[in-house]
Amino acid sequence: MKSSIYFINPAADFPTYFNAENYEARGFRRATQMADLAIPTLAAMASSAMDVSLCDENIEPVNYDSGAEFVGITGKITQFGRMVAIAKEFRARGKKIVIGGPYASLSPEMVRPYCDVLVRGEIEDIADQIFADLASGNWKDEYVGGKPGLDKSPVPRWSLYPNDRAVMATLQTSRGCPFECEFCDVIQYAGRKQRHKEPAQVLRELDTLYAFGYRSVFLADDNFTAYRSRARELLQALRAWNLRQTNGKVAFLTQVSIDAARDEALLSLCAEAGLSTVFIGIETPNEDSLIQAKKRQNSKVDLVEQVHNFFAHGIQVVGGMIVGFDSDGPGIFEQQYSFAMRSGIPIFSLGALVAPAATPLHARIKAAGRLKEGGGEVAAVPWSTNIVHPSFTEDALVTGLRWLANSLYHPEAMAERLIRFIELLGKRRDPKLRDPMKAGQMRSIDRDAIAVLGQVPTLGKAESAMWNTVMRATAKKPEATAFVLVAMLQYMQIRYMYELGQFWEIRPGEPSPASTTGPSEYRRRLPLVV
């Protein structure tokens, strides 16, 4: 009889921008924005030696009565609290606990007390040994992986995953990033030398995801366009693959750096392949902060102009925004707001600067004696930080964040950015991308998404006005429809996140808490949506 293992992806310790907790809160079954890639990949690695079962806690509750001998837990820093709670409960029931993943690799001393087996680093090179040892009962208390070639990564075992409750699939085509942003822990975990899957390997994974009904795929690369020649080769393969599909095309989303905007041919190829949305860590328009953070790729360029170049190619941008850099002064909140409104980016993930363990920022802040007392490294983004700012009090930072969050996502401001995006959106290069799927093949999460969208106008008078105004603008430019609806779904998650965190309090029209002169001139010029 085979030994068995129960792999768990814990829920986050607090709502996040890009999850989908709002589905359950609004009366629907649990769902996740992005299918978890780790546990079905682990399942594919372990299946030859052990019986495997999976749980993504974002979708279904943990089965503490599982008959598995081992419980494998993965997770990031934002999941640490749940990782510990799940491990303790299973240990009390006599299970052996295996913990790995990004947080275990970056902060092993934090995880070690809660597991019998600790796995650090990437697992492909050591997976066979780990699972054979577990199956035989002769395991070590720690395994350390290196930086393997991605050709060793198997096609994930998606047949074990609840695919009908994930908005989009997840597929990784590379690991690592050549940049050295001070606050980012990616390069500490995955390295600066990027490793890649061959196009044929990527397409095999795509074929599997397509068969499970996914028509939206997040390419979970740290920086998809970092190596241009490789990106072009893969994009050409994705374009050809997408054109061969007869039951609806696939829209791809990924992470890139702003410098990709300067490569017109690359952007055209992205659009033709179906890469419709990119996440860009813009962080801040404050040049001094960019330089200090070593975010050199963002400095000395017109960030708004670069963003608009993506729009012109029919590609939407989701932006990362951070406040609390050492160089940020009292005016940073209005500066960020002004930038956001000029950019036309509908959705920003906004948060205070946090110093994760193992990063150069953490080392610098710790050496300066500025790690918050008892602060460790976990912070509930966006409303806390583990850094003592040189000029802001923590209360001033949180108050400013609250003002900025409410100002960005007030329905009037949200509508204005969406309308600006619609106006700037260039002709789609992928006219067949949104071919509808055949009737009856829509997944349960797709039906629920439509129902959640129907709740947007019911949130209040201002939200109803936002919906009506944006829908009128969209009707004049139908190619923007899919982008707008996805942004509205993300808006619903953000509203849920802010309301649950008691962040949804301040209404626009009020001055920034750092301002002594009342609303800025830019603020006064905001049109009233009617």
Which pTM was predicted? 0.92
Sheet architecture: strand order including 51-56:
51-56, 4-9, 70-73, 96-99, 117-120, 142-144
User: In whole angstroms, what is the distance from residue 263 CA to residue 319 CA?
Assistant: 19
Sequence letter at residue 244: R
Which pair of tokens denotes residue 55? 């749980």
Per-residue pLDDT of the chain (530 residues; tens, 9 = 90+): 789 999 999 999 988 888 888 999 999 999 999 999 999 999 999 999 999 999 999 999 999 999 999 999 999 988 999 999 999 999 999 999 999 999 999 999 999 999 999 999 999 999 999 999 999 999 999 999 999 999 999 999 999 999 999 999 999 999 998 888 999 888 787 888 899 999 999 999 999 999 999 999 999 999 999 999 999 999 999 999 999 999 999 999 999 999 999 999 999 999 999 999 999 999 999 999 999 999 999 999 999 999 999 999 999 999 999 999 999 999 999 999 999 999 999 999 999 999 988 899 999 999 999 998 765 555 556 678 999 999 989 899 989 999 999 999 999 999 999 999 999 999 877 645 554 455 456 899 999 999 999 999 999 999 999 999 999 999 999 999 999 999 999 999 999 999 887 777 645 555 555 543 333 332 333 332 22
- Over the stretch 155-169, which tens digit does the pLDDT of each residue have? 999 999 999 999 999
Which pair of tokens denotes residue 98? 């295996």
Residue 61 Cα distances to 11, 39, 86, 129, 478, angstroms: 9, 15, 11, 30, 39
- Over the stretch 84-121, which tens digit does the pLDDT of each residue have? 999 999 999 999 999 999 999 999 999 999 999 999 99
User: DSSP labels for 94-142?
Assistant: T-EEEE-SHHHHH-HHHHGGG-SEEEES--TTTHHHHHHHHHHT---SE
Q: How many CA atoms lie within 13 A of 483 on its CB side?
A: 34
Looking at the chain, how many residues does it have?
530
- At residue 380, the pLDDT reads 53
Question: Which helix (H) or strand (E) covers residue 230, if one does?
Answer: helix 228-244
